[in-house]
C-alpha cells in the first residue's frame, strides 16, 4: 500500500521523501514527507485497524502546531481524500 500511495503521489506531482528510522531522528517521526504547491504534508502509513503510537501522535501534533499537515494513511483512498482537502 505504501509504495502504491507513493507512486500515485509522484505521478500527481508530489515530491515524496522517505524518512527512514534512525537513532538520530526524533521518536515518532513519520514515514514520509510530501511537498506540492506549498503544502507540507507528513504521513504515517499504517495497516488497516492499526493506530499511531503515542510518540507518533505527539510528533503529529507538533507538526500541526507549526501549521504543517500530518495524516495517518491506511489506503490510497485516504491519500486521495487528503489530497483533495477532505
Distances (CA, A) of 82 to 20, 26, 27, 55, 73: 22, 25, 24, 22, 9
Helix (H, G, I), strand (E, B) or coil at 85: coil
With CA atoms as reference, report the closest residue to 83 among 23, 12, 25, 32.
12
Q: What is the pLDDT of residues 61-83, one digit of tens each?
A: 999 999 999 999 999 999 999 99
Q: pLDDT at position 85, please?
A: 83
Q: What is the CATH topology of the domain spanning 2-83?
A: Trna Endonuclease; Chain: A, domain 1 (3.40.1350)
Tell me the pLDDT tens digit for each residue of 16-56: 999 998 888 889 999 999 999 999 999 999 998 999 999 99
The pTM of this model reads 0.92
Domain ranges of the chain: 2-83
Amino acid at each position: 500500500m505504501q509504495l502504491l500511495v507513493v507512486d500515485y503521489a509522484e505521478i500527481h506531482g508530489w515530491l515524496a521523501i522517505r524518512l527512514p528510522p534512525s537513532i538520530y531522528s526524533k521518536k515518532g517521526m513519520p514515514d514520509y514527507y510530501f511537498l506540492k504547491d506549498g503544502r507540507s504534508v507528513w504521513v504515517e502509513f499504517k495497516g488497516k485497524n492499526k493506530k499511531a503510537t503515542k510518540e507518533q501522535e505527539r510528533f503529529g501534533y507538533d507538526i500541526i502546531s507549526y501549521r504543517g499537515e500530518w495524516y495517518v494513511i491506511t489506503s490510497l483512498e485516504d491519500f486521495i481524500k487528503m489530497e483533495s482537502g477532505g
